[in-house]
Amino acid sequence: MATTIIEGIYRDRIIDSTGRLLEDSGWKHNMIVLRCRVLLGAFLHNDGTALGIQTMRVGRGDASWDTTPPPLADPVTTTGLTDPAPFVLSAPDLTLEYLDDSESIVASPTHRVQVTATLGPNKPSPSGSPPFPLREFGLFGSLGGIPFMIDYVRHPLIDKDGAVTLERKVRLVL
């Protein structure tokens, strides 16, 4: 019996105000959490309250991750970000696209989905002055009106300066 796993990758690019690429993380793996499978199960069961990608949340994570690698998150018990007040990008702020097997954007549904989030200048809006420290993010769907995490990443510190744009692409292969 063939088994297929749900996979995800992400890529961060930092772009200055002139459009010059400052940093590119390259493609890295993300962690699909159990709640993603529960959300898919509710969708396949015709639950009626299961909604796909509704938000991307980006957070500060834990400053201790800057000197020691962040502890690995548990895909079974991880249901939210470490940051209790993350910056939230809602579905209208995200670009969702289908990809074919060669990673080209196509109009018809496929088993590959790309999500692009653009955090432009001064986003997230820090409570103090920039930079805004980013160390984690996750995609969230909804089940019965409750946010359900789909994937999660803890990454090296990105000090999001107010003048730069962070373009984050996430690809999910279902």
Contact 136, 153 (CB under 8 A): yes
Cis peptide before 131 (omega within 30 of 0): yes
pLDDT per position as a tens digit, 84-138: 999 999 999 999 999 999 999 999 999 999 999 999 998 987 555 678 899 999 9
Cβ atoms within 10 Å, residue 6: 15
Tell me: pLDDT of 1 over 80: no
Determine the average pLDDT of the residues in 138-147.
Answer: 97
- Alpha-carbon distance of 165 to 17, in angstroms, equals 8
Which residues are registered as beta bridge partners of 113? 98, 172
Tell me, what's the pLDDT at 158? 93
- pTM for this structure? 0.94
Instruction: Compute, in degrees rounded to 10, the torsion defined by CA atoms 70, 10, 140, 56.
Output: 90
Tell me, what's the pLDDT at 164? 93
Model confidence band, residue 57 (pLDDT cutoffs 50, 70, 90): very high
Q: Which of 87, 80, 86 is nearest to 148 (CA)?
A: 80
Q: Which residue has the higher pLDDT, 64 or 3?
A: 64
Contact 151, 40 (CB under 8 A): no
Tell me, what's the pLDDT at 161? 85
Mean of pLDDT over the chain: 93
Q: Which of 119, 105, 116, 165 is nearest to 139 (CA)?
A: 116
Percent of the chain with pLDDT over 70: 95
